[in-house]
Amino acid sequence: MTMQELMEAALQYPAACAENPFGPESICIRIGEHGPIFLNLMPSNSWASFRCEPQMGLLWRTQFPENVRRGWHCPLVQQPYNNTVTLDGAVPDDVLLAMLAHSYQRAMLGLTRARRRELQL
């Protein structure tokens, strides 16, 4: 799966939108404008970072030790809650899509009920 295909898949989720809050080198896919980020793409490195529940993150890091690591961009205390994946074809597309779905669900937990209603989620 290419970075473009992953971004297109992410933008299919309800209320998903792309932003560049950290500059042009990073593309963040959020739930709603200024909402929680569920996918961070770094085109220059062919990296994608996903939110994850720590046990699922560990499972994916164990399955793909050469391609999945703790979130590169996070402070140490937050690293277990994020995975960074090298998009070089080693991680199957269905696994990447599962990571994306899981990340979106985790980001949804960061929204209040009122905000979900506002976004019609």
Structural domains of the chain in order of their starting residue, each with its CATH number: 3-118 (3.90.1150.30)
At residue 24, the pLDDT reads 83
Q: How many Å apart are CA 59 and CA 77, to the nearest integer?
A: 18
Residue 13's nearest CA partner among 36, 34, 30 is: 30
Q: How many Å apart are CA 92 and CA 115, to the nearest integer?
A: 34
- The stretch 101-111 carries a mean pLDDT of 94
3-state helix vs strand vs coil in the chain, percent to 5: 40, 25, 40
At residue 81, the pLDDT reads 83
Name the pTM for this structure.
0.91
Res. 79 pLDDT band, cuts 50 70 90: low
Q: In the chain, where does DSSP find H-type helix?
A: 3-10, 54-63, 93-108, 113-118
